[in-house]
Structure 1
Amino acid sequence: MSLFKNKLIIALPLIVLAIVFVFSLTAIPIISPTAKNLPVAIVNEDAGSSSGENMGNVIANNIKSATAAISEQPPIKWIEVGSEEEAKTGLHHQEYYAALVIPKDFSTNQASLASPNPVSPEIRIYVNQGMNVTAANMAQQILTQMVSGLNEKMRAQLIAAFDQKGGTVTTKQAAAWASPIVSKVSPVNAIGTNSANGNAPVTLFQPLWMGSLIAGAIFLLAKNKTIFANRKEKLQANGVQVIWGALLALVAGFGFTWFVERWGMSIPDFMDIALFLSIAYFAFFLMISAVFSWIGFGGMAIFVLFLFFGAPLLSFAPELLSPFYRDWVMSWLPMRFLVDGLRELFYFGEGLKLNHPTNVLMWIGIGSILVLLASALKPSGKTNEELIRSSP
């Protein structure tokens, strides 16, 4: 068949295999995410018992030692914090995925377990769901397992002590010894309902990115079909593209927010979310347009790779990624600032303000405008005037 005389047809199996291989790399960071050095606050407010014993110090030291012994890169990185309120502030500022608090009456209650009126000591665990629900759940699981281990150890010590004395265990003591330490788990910055299980910021990224990519491609097609008389006309066309991009950003930001709210997503503040999405769309549109203006449709490959390699990473905390993906892929993704900004708006009660994600997106937009306008100075094919002069 003549069809098989075409070299591309013959090479198609290898081409397909190469494409499949490249895009299979996107699955590597999400196949088996492992927690490494998740920052978790630990607060020991234990005032000690009347005998001077401070079980809070013992518990805190045992927990930190047990974590450090797991591996060279333990799943938890403990950060000592002075008070429960200070830990809550850090959780709100996205400094910790969780916090473990040993209250001031821990030793007193622990000593009462051997008395006729036992009171189980309590450990409070705060889980920062909004920071990253996957990492926060991992931290919660590790902390609850640690408390379970402490429970078993304390239960064995209590039973051994009573065996030596030959005493009789009361029903109250038996009930308290079933769980000598009570762990109270409280979510903070909760993800709530109808938020894609805490992944609403990541869910909103892809449509916005595709919208800006397609709009940039359409502008490039239109400009490629236009013959500009001189560089001034090219500069004017680029200026029109910037102005039109601002209008598109408002349409995309407000329209998209309205759509997802109609589909059932919980939108904490319509105006703030819509304006932030508009800022993000404008920054992405300008960045894509700036790259297209210099290298043409070759830039499409860059932004498609951003999409396919970036989307799987955005839902994971940096501590769950390998150093390569964390430092050389994640850190270079412009869309992560969209996700970070939306996370603050959705789960941390932060209104729209000039925070780090918003500032970065604005600087991306400003830099892209300068690059886009400068492309008017780029040498191009013959202008309309040159075509007229060269005609017979």
Structure 2
Amino acid sequence: MNILKNKFLWLAPIVILIVLGIFALAFYPAFNPKPKELPIAIVNKDKGTSIQDKKIDIGKKLEDKLTDSDSDTVKWKSVDSEKKAKDGLNEQKYYGMIVLEKDFSKHAMSKAQKVVMSAKQQEMKDKVKSGDIPPEKAKQMKEKMQQQGGNNDVKVEKAHVKTLVNDGANKQASQIASQVLSGVGTNINKQITQQATSMLGNQDVKVSPKDINGLTNPVKVSDSKIHEVKDHQGGGNAPFLMFMPVWMSSIIASVLLYYAFRTSNNVSIANRVKASLLQMLFAVITAFVGGFGYIYFMSGVLGFDFPHTARMALFISITILGFIALVLGSMTVLTMLVVPIFFLAMFFSIQLVMFPKEMLPKFYQDYIVSWNPFTHYATSVREILYMNQPLTLNSTTWMLIGFMIYGVVMILVATIIKKHSDKRTEIPS
């Protein structure tokens, strides 16, 4: 049969295997996206306390336990001030933070200390009353207890722990940070309760029912968020949702501008240069029409909540212009053959835009994330939309400016240097 001699018949199973293999590699980061060493800050202000000449520093023990933990999920970072930790949250250096107040140990053990002292005072009164201890001896014992910090006028207060999560940094990371910090708060209460009951047991003190709640819940945990994601903001996934439309539209616009030049029958260098300049001008017009139209359509028609609509529209316009310059500049040199590469780049970058760096395979963390233009784009979208940051000449903006310069240079060089024919279908950009 002749069909068995046709090469396309035999190529079909080979090509589909190659294509599926490429897409499997592209989506590999999403196969098992476990968080690895998500950075969370701990600010320990606790000064410790003394009970019966014994130094108690719960905050230091907790800090050492967290920073020395062998957890693969979280990497605890000791920070010496609350301001530095908050700055780290705003800079996306940390996904969350926990703060222990300066009187943490004192307040955490105040209820147990109060129960012990009340029991000892009552025991002494009973022994004095029964004659087991002379009043003079009881007075001496009371003075000694006061010298050791045993004051019956201990003021019972709950210890305070504050947790803060950067909700806008990355939705997946912020959810994990919230769960971890909530678990830490619960464990702190359990550990301090165990320590308090152990102290009471060593002192042979019986606890009345009315004191149980204060002993079992000595710490109040205040949870809060910064840059909280609001309703109608894509559930914190706007960088991903706004990635493919921007990149795809940039490629399509580049192809149209590319063929607009190719089919314009500009053979002389002077005409080609003029056509190239017009091509660049329409690239700018296309980018700003697309960027502002896209954002205002999402805002006005679809109800997406942009705190700064014009700022986001300007950034998207600059992004589209940079992407068009990158794609169009490459096409002028490599023709349409380069387009599939840009589509593959999109598929290989989807997971990088969606997940935080710490949830990606180590190879991606070490060699891909830092230079990938789409991660920079996603970071800037997140900063403008969720973190209320202005549009500045940061690394993302300079990257896009670099794409523009590259595109202009490639277009002009190809226009002047490449050989052109008077045949319409052979005139390259």
TM-score, normalized by the shorter chain, greater than 0.5: yes
Please list the CA deviations of residues 99-128 of structure 1 after superposition, one character each: whole Å capped at 9, or x if unmatched: 111111201111213025743322211111
Q: Residue in 1 aligned with 2:355?
A: 316
Contact 1:30 1:313 (8 Å CA) reproduced = no
Q: Residue in 2 aligned with 1:10?
A: 10
Describe the SS at the equivalent of 2:347.
helix
Tell me if 1:208 matches 2:246: yes
1:50 Cα deviation (Å)? 5.2
Contact 1:337 1:358 (8 Å CA) reproduced = no
Pairing of 1:25-174 with structure 2 (within 5 A)? 25-49=25-49, 51=51, 53-65=56-68, 67=69, 69-70=70-71, 74-114=72-112, 115-116=114-115, 118-174=156-212
1:33 Cα deviation (Å)? 1.5
Tell me if 1:285 matches 2:285: no
* CA–CA distance in structure 1, aligned partners of residues 389 and 200 of structure 2: 53
Alignment partner for residue 271 of structure 1, among 302, 310, 314? 310
Amino acid at match of 1:59: L
1:382 Cα deviation (Å)? 2.9
Describe the SS at the equivalent of 1:331.
coil
Please list the CA deviations of residues 288-334 of structure 1 after superposition, one character each: whole Å capped at 9, or x if unmatched: 10001100111111110111111222011112112222233333422
* CA–CA distance in structure 1, aligned partners of residues 31 and 219 of structure 2: 36
Closer, same or farther in 2 for the Cα pair 1:13/1:45, shift >3 Å? same
Relative to structure 2, which stretch is displaced further, 297-306 or 162-171? 162-171
Closer, same or farther in 2 for the Cα pair 1:113/1:374, shift >3 Å? farther
Amino acid at match of 1:136: S
Contact 1:245 1:282 (8 Å CA) reproduced = yes
Closer, same or farther in 2 for the Cα pair 1:215/1:156, shift >3 Å? same
Describe the SS at the equivalent of 2:80.
coil
Describe the SS at the equivalent of 1:376.
helix
Closer, same or farther in 2 for the Cα pair 1:30/1:176, shift >3 Å? farther
Contact 1:123 1:184 (8 Å CA) reproduced = yes
Relative to structure 2, which stretch is displaced further, 49-58 or 367-376? 49-58
Q: Residue in 1 aligned with 2:367?
A: 328
* CA–CA distance in structure 2, aligned partners of residues 252 and 376 of structure 1: 26
Amino acid at match of 2:111: L
Q: Residue in 2 aligned with 1:242?
A: 280
1:209 Cα deviation (Å)? 0.9
- Aligned CA RMSD, in angstroms, stands at 2.2
* CA–CA distance in structure 2, aligned partners of residues 299 and 118 of structure 1: 71
Unpaired runs of 5+ in structure 2? 116-154
1:2 Cα deviation (Å)? 5.3
Please list the CA deviations of residues 148-188 of structure 1 after superposition, one character each: whole Å capped at 9, or x if unmatched: 33333322222233233332323453213333333322111
TM-score when scaled to structure 1? 0.90
Identity value in percent: 28
Contact 1:37 1:75 (8 Å CA) reproduced = yes
Tell me if 1:220 matches 2:258: yes
Unpaired runs of 5+ in structure 1? 388-392
Please list the CA deviations of residues 113-145 of structure 1 after superposition, one character each: whole Å capped at 9, or x if unmatched: 302574332221111111112122222323333
* CA–CA distance in structure 2, aligned partners of residues 136 and 338 of structure 1: 20
Please list the CA deviations of residues 171-213 of structure 1 after superposition, one character each: whole Å capped at 9, or x if unmatched: 4532133333333221111122212211112211211111110
TM-score when scaled to structure 2? 0.82
Contact 1:230 1:383 (8 Å CA) reproduced = no
Relative to structure 2, which stretch is displaced further, 235-244 or 136-145? 136-145
Contact 1:40 1:99 (8 Å CA) reproduced = yes
1:225 Cα deviation (Å)? 2.9
Amino acid at match of 1:92: N
Closer, same or farther in 2 for the Cα pair 1:242/1:90, shift >3 Å? same
Contact 1:119 1:176 (8 Å CA) reproduced = no
Q: Residue in 1 aligned with 2:390?
A: 351
* CA–CA distance in structure 1, aligned partners of residues 219 and 210 of structure 2: 15
* CA–CA distance in structure 1, aligned partners of residues 212 and 95 of structure 2: 35
* CA–CA distance in structure 2, aligned partners of residues 338 and 372 of structure 1: 24
Structure possessing the higher radius of gyration over alpha carbons = 2
Alignment partner for residue 374 of structure 1, among 413, 422, 429? 413
Contact 1:39 1:97 (8 Å CA) reproduced = yes
1:215 Cα deviation (Å)? 0.9
1:222 Cα deviation (Å)? 2.8
Relative to structure 2, which stretch is displaced further, 326-335 or 95-104? 326-335
**Count of residues paired in the alignment:** 380
* CA–CA distance in structure 1, aligned partners of residues 4 and 219 of structure 2: 74
Q: Residue in 2 aligned with 1:390?
A: none
* CA–CA distance in structure 2, aligned partners of residues 325 and 372 of structure 1: 32
